[in-house]
Amino acid sequence: MTADNAVGAAAAAPTPAPTLASAAPDPDEAQRAIEYCYEQGWSDGLPLVPASKPLVDQFLATTDKDPGEIIGSLEQVGRDCTVYLAAVNAAMAGCRPEYFPVVLAAFEALMRERAARGGGFQSTSGPAPLIVVNGPVRQQLGFNTAGGAFGPGFRPNMTIPRAIGLMVRNAFGIHPHVFEQATQGVPGRWSICIAENEEESPWEPLAANGGAGGGVSAVSATLTRTMEFVDNRHAPNPEDVLRDFQDTISRIGSQIFPKSAVALVLCPEHAQMFASAGLSKADVQNWLLERSGRTVGEFRRAGKAEVTSRRFGPPGAAGAGHDDGPPRADEEFHPILNGPQSIPIVVAGAKNAAISMVVRIFGEWSGTSVPVGEKK
């Protein structure tokens, strides 16, 4: 490089105009604060928003709850999460203060899950919370209720589940490779928050199924073990499409207990097709409930005979503790779903293709939804 070239290059570089009291924050200071948060071990791997008292106070101002109130406990590790810790973690996750009542409702809904209290966050499955938001709060806070329901792209949908993940990490102390023993984990962990597409759903919202009533802002949550598409945009007959769902639900791969549960995140097109044929949510659930499963022989040939065994497994599981009786015949059908409550249905995404998701639930949905608290 010649001296002339060097001079030319320097001249071509844009020189920022000096500003008087610039409105933009100091990026160097921001970076130092972000690095500080990493150094403390607080981060999930992505940058955190450094939380200050004035910021956290704005979160706390959105709720009537006392900052010291315990909103969830993990007895096995002796840790509690308070409203205050929830606020700090929500701030760090990038939530806006006005999201905080939804964070609190989502956490309450998740902690109603037996699996979440009972070791789910430590599990080798590495389950991901599925959070579903209903009601006017979706528009008030700017949730995505349309295409790309599983994200990313929208601040409340992304930061609220991240806040829950940070609460588990920081408030409960469940760190990867220590108490968190996920073998691979579920893609999308701590980033799945669906705002139901109530506007294009032919049915009552999930929160109504969860007892919170229709038209109410409420949050439902469960833990999921994995998920898979049903892409069926060709069949004009609803029964054919239901059979396609039945086939995906009945896959053996993720089955480890005699019974399991699935959530259906139906695209508007599938939901409307079923509804036009006169099917309610309950009709869809009951149709799949009867037919989802495989024969004992199919389980055996996949190396999963134990799943259908009468002497199977943990207490509470169907058939636990009974090791008497003759072996089950190969041709006997083994249904895998427990009841309508084990098939919650949500309508989400764009009405632009007939693509829906079968979401495998870790344990079983509590069947309850939590209204979003309003400050009185």
Partner 1 sequence: MPNAILDPTGTVTTSAAQPAAARAPRRASLNGARVGLLINTKTNARPFLDEVGRLLTERYGVTVTRRTKTNFAVPEPEDIIKEMAQESDVVVTGVGDCGSCSAAAAADGVVLEAAGVPVAVIVTDSFRATADAMASLRGAPGYRYAVTAHPVAVLAEDQVKARAAQVLDHVVALLTQPGNAGE
Question: With contact defined as beta carbons under 8 Å apart, do 306 and 327 qualify?
Answer: no
H or E element at residue 79: strand 79-82
Q: Token pair 């009841």 is at which residue?
A: 339
Complex with partner 1: residue 31 or 52, whichever CB lies closer:
52
What backbone torsions phi and psi does residue 203 show, to the nearest 5 degrees? -120, 175
H or E element at residue 218: strand 218-231
Complex with partner 1: residue 89 or 250, whichever CB lies closer:
89
Q: How far is the CB of 297 from partner 1 (least distance, A)?
A: 21
Give which of 142, 152, 138, 147 is closest to 191, Cα–Cα: 152
Q: Which sign, positive or negative, has the C-alpha torsion 16, 19, 21, 22?
A: negative
Complex with partner 1: residue 92 or 275, whichever CB lies closer:
92
Q: How far is the CB of 50 from partner 1 (least distance, A)?
A: 5
Complex with partner 1: residue 105 or 167, whichever CB lies closer:
167
Complex with partner 1: residue 48 or 208, whichever CB lies closer:
48
Angle between helices 268-276 and 238-249 (to 10 degrees): 130
Q: How far apart are CA 159 and CA 161, in angstroms?
A: 6
Q: Which two tokens stand for residue 212?
A: 């919170």
Complex with partner 1: residue 9 or 77, whichever CB lies closer:
77
Q: Which two tokens stand for residue 274?
A: 């079923």
- Spell out the alpha helix ranges (H) of the chain: 3-12, 27-39, 53-60, 83-93, 100-111, 114-117, 137-140, 155-166, 206-209, 238-249, 268-276, 281-291, 296-301, 305-308
Q: How far apart are CA 240 and CA 245, in angstroms?
A: 9
Complex with partner 1: residue 33 or 353, whichever CB lies closer:
33
- Which positions lie near partner 1, rule CB under 8 A? 33, 36-37, 40, 42, 50-54, 56, 73, 75-82, 85, 88-89, 91-92, 118-120, 122-124, 166, 170-173, 177-182, 306, 313-315
